[in-house]
Every structure is written in C-alpha cells, then in structure tokens.
Structure 1
Amino acid sequence: MSARVVKAFRQGQKTDANDALAIGIAAQQPTVKPSRLLSINE
C-alpha cells in the first residue's frame, strides 16, 4: 500500500505500532487500491 494512503488512517504519532494499525485499517477499506509490486527480492 502507498504510504500516502496509509497516512490518512494513522492516529497519533508515527510509531511502528501506529503504522501497523493504520495498514490493517486501510487494507480493510474497499476503496483503497494496493500499489503495484516493483521488484521481488529473494
């Protein structure tokens, strides 16, 4: 997901826990589109 989209769902300070919660909430929204995969690191 785009960081720009997830930022709208984050509450409070930018911490790992708040970022993870915002990603989870954004992933459940039907209007949020996932970003395309640029590369695969193996």
Structure 2
Amino acid sequence: MSLRDIAKRLVITTGTKKGQYPSPAIVMRMLREHDEQTATAVSA
C-alpha cells in the first residue's frame, strides 16, 4: 500500500484541519515517530 493510499484512508479528527486528509509527508512522519516510540519501548 502506498503512502498516498494510506493518506486517502485517514482523516484528521482534531485540530484546525479536522475533517481533512493528511498529506503523504505527514503520514510518513507519523509512521517514523511511531517506529521510534516502539523502538524505545522495546529497548527500555
């Protein structure tokens, strides 16, 4: 599944952009942050 496909399925639920779709760059940042949090939780 491409980032564009993922971005089309997601909807922002809070904040000033509520109801809009995130850009592929935002999706990539969210996935990277999630990976970093998971890696820190596993190593702790």
TM-score normalized by the length of structure 1: 0.38
Which structure has more relative contact order (CA 8 Å, sep 6+)? It is 1
Higher helix share: 2
